[in-house]
Amino acid sequence: MSDILIAIIMGIVEGLTEFLPVSSTGHMILTAHLLGFEGEKAKTFEIVIQLGAVLAVFVLYWRRFLGMLRFKPGYMQERRANIVHVALAMAPAVVIGLALHSLIKTYLFGPETVLVGLVAGGILMIVAEKSRRKVTAETMDDISYKQAFGIGVFQCLALWPGFSRSGSTISGGMLLGTSQKAAAEFTFIVSVPIMFAATILDLYKSREYLSVEDMGLFITGLVSAFVVAMIAVVTFLNLIKRLKLSWFAYYRFVLAAIFIYVLFM
């Protein structure tokens, strides 16, 4: 199989799964194994295409991001999500992620740990759905500072590969009293700065594996991830009112079973 075709397939998988509560890491590991696309170059490629998915959310929400950066009298008192909400949601994962970055990359990015994350994350999603907490935030703009910070604490679970950032934060939001749609949209907003920073850091640490010869491979994967992620995010937000979170949890359990069969049998 040609490198360009591999890049397109991997980009599609990244774009489809990065912002859905199904674990993009689990899908990428399984897809890379099936395609025989593994090693340091493959790991660097996965970092690059993640940037494409991040850029897709920025393009979709650029007006919202610009609005958050326009400070004016009464900004903090406005009933809408602002930069403080985002900062509070980012803080826990940033602190823990920077402190444990090397340990996470060294010991947690393997099939076994991803398998644990898939199952544990699925259980969390079912618990969040069955908890039936009173909804105090129907829309993203109703989310309080306390809820934003709490969602950030749940986001720390995503540092364990396989848990899924969106799965952890949407579940956390629901347990803290937000609607499923509000939690999902807030997750997309928060993901941009934290994923962008994490991706740049990973790229810097993997810079020795970046080469001009692989530029076509990387650009193809990035563009594929960007286009598919845009479609996936819009589609997910349109479906979130009708789809139960548990459906994604059951899908994760099926994926875990496939993981076991393909990688360990």
User: What is the tens place of the pLDDT at every residue in 103-146?
Assistant: 887 888 888 899 999 999 999 999 999 998 899 999 999 999 99
Q: Tell me the pLDDT of the chain averaged across its residues.
A: 89
Q: State the burial class of residue 75 (Cβ atoms within 10 Å of its Cβ: 0-12, 13-18, 19+).
A: middle
Enter the pTM of the model: 0.89
Distance CA 56, CA 24 (A): 15
Q: State the burial class of residue 197 (Cβ atoms within 10 Å of its Cβ: 0-12, 13-18, 19+).
A: middle
Looking at residue 187, its pLDDT comes to 92
End-to-end distance of the chain based on CA atoms, in angstroms? 24
Distance CA 105, CA 169 (A): 21
Phi, psi of 178 (to 5 degrees): -95, 160
